[in-house]
Amino acid sequence: MLTPTARIWRNGEFIPWDEAKIHVLSHVVSYGSSVFEGIRCYETVGGPAIFRLREHVRRMVDSAKIYRMDNFRFSPEELAEAIVELVRVNNLRSCYIRPIALRGYGEMGVNGTKNPTDVYLACWEWGKYLGPEALAEGVDVCVSSWTRIAPNTLPALAKAGANYMNSQLIKMEAVANGYSEGIALDASGYVSEGSGENIFVVRDGKIITPPLGTSVLPGITRDSIVTLCGDLGIPISEQMVPRELLYIADEVFFSGTAAEITPIRSIDRITIGKGHRGPIAEKLQNEFFSIVNGAKPDRYGWLTPVEVRQPVAR
Ligand code: PPE
């Protein structure tokens, strides 16, 4: 269960958590017309800091543009400022932040352009996405029987609520069959991504990750990994990944805001590499976590500090 925080931001003002409700006939309920983000605020040695806020806000605005949400009323700067304020008013050290823009109440019918676009910002404390041991031990996953949303159906570069019906099918099937997560193939049969994570494959010391054209979300953690690899001297490239390359890889791992960097230890019950977290995933985790917890300098300007005005209650 979600633990409520004090405030949610709605269209420019803070309201109590329990009042953040929508009408059942809001456009989004029937037609899935929402775009959203998932952002982490980390507890660093210098206080709470939001990871790659600018990039998340930009992707949200991009998603709204793809869906012709022309009445989206907030600039990236306003949203970024409101998100920092949200963490501050809720007095949290670390949390997961969920901005949502949705087509609200007004008309019924598929064309929602006359409905208001309502914007909400909420946050809560969220633990380890794929279980407590996942980061250290790795997870057991499968290749899904469901195909990832195809080009010319739902645009994958938009983080839209409706995309997650496809993700739900992938995730529910995986869990029903005893796996932590499912990997979806794209419409051509190449590896795309997990239900809520991008994927990386390591063989002979080189990393490859599927390109944007394989119906993946342009992940911000994915981008961070590419940057870190550049610095650490680990060769990385975007390439089509045939399914069977997964099975013969030395390492496979997921990335995502929620999943962070999660190693995969088996796929379809085939052991990956040595069957536990590999050295490259571990190296990337160490670098990533030392930046987000402030142990190493924020050399890429990834963190937006949240100034805490009062002593933190929890
Ligand atoms: N692919 C998908 C389909 C996806 O949902 C995410 C984020 C990613 C890749 C990784 O993107 P990024 O977070 O920018 O590195 N998935 C979110 C989980 C959603 C959920 O509510 O569950 C997340 O990690 O926040």
Each residue's pLDDT tens digit, 185-225: 999 999 999 999 999 999 999 999 999 999 999 999 999 99
Closest by CA position to 56, among listed 79, 32, 78, 37 = 37
> Hey, which bits of the chain come out as E strands?
7-10, 13-16, 34-36, 39-44, 47-51, 95-103, 117-124, 139-147, 181-185, 191-194, 198-203, 206-209, 236-238, 251-256, 260-267, 270-271, 303-305
**Distance of CA 197 from the midpoint of ligand 1 (Å):** 5
Which residues lie with the beta carbon below 6 Å from any ligand 1 atom?
38, 167, 193, 196-198, 217, 219-222, 255-259
Domain annotation for the chain: domains and CATH numbers: 7-124 (3.30.470.10), 134-292 (3.20.10.10)
Give the dihedral of Cα atoms 156, 159, 165, 166; nearest 10 deg. 30
Mean pLDDT of the chain: 96
In the predicted model, is pLDDT for residue 310 greater than 70?
no
Instruction: Tell me, in angstroms, the distance from the centre of ligand 1 to residue 38's CA.
Output: 7
* Digit-coded pLDDT (tens) for 14-40: 999 999 999 999 999 999 999 999 999
Q: Ligand 1 centroid to 128 CA: how many Å?
A: 13
Q: Best substitution site from 198, 215, 220, 260 to test ligand 1's pocket, by max atoms within 8 Å of Cβ? A: 198
Residue 256's Cβ-count burial label (10 Å; 0-12, 13-18, 19+) is buried
Predicted pLDDT at 182 = 98
Cα 163 to ligand 1 centre (Å): 11
pLDDT of 139: 98
Active-site residue identified among 21, 65, 114, 159: 159
**Percent with pLDDT over 90 in the chain:** 94
Minimal-distance CA residue to ligand 1 atom 18: 196
pLDDT tens-place string over residues 64-122: 999 999 999 899 999 999 999 999 999 999 999 999 999 999 999 999 999 999 999 99
Q: Give the residue, by CA position, lying nearest to ligand 1 atom 11.
A: 219
Q: What is the pLDDT of residue 282?
A: 98
Closest CA to ligand 1's atom 2: 196
The C-alpha atoms of residue 142 and residue 159 are separated, in whole angstroms, by 23
pLDDT value, residue 128: 79
Whether 159 sits among the annotated catalytic residues: the reply is yes
